Amino acid sequence: MNEMRAWVASEKIDSWAYRASLLKALYDSADEYIASGEGTFRELAAFDNGVATALKKLKEKSSK
């Protein structure tokens, strides 16, 4: 895990977006997982922040 964290930092990947992608990779459908009520507050926050970060970056990229 430390190697992955180092890679994320070296590539300047947003940590929340990385956590959201891990959640998506672990479960076929993040939406179903979250809707099932199994997700912890931390996982839900990571997913929400990851999605928000990705949308913000897309918006910034398209406005350039």
Mean local confidence (pLDDT), 7-33: 78
Model confidence at 10, pLDDT cuts 50, 70, 90, reads: very high
Between CA 4 and CA 33 the distance in angstroms is: 24
Greater model confidence, 5 or 25: 5
Domain that holds residue 17: 2-62
Give the count of domains, the chain: 1
pLDDT at residue 30, as a whole number: 66
pTM: 0.48
pLDDT at residue 64, as a whole number: 72
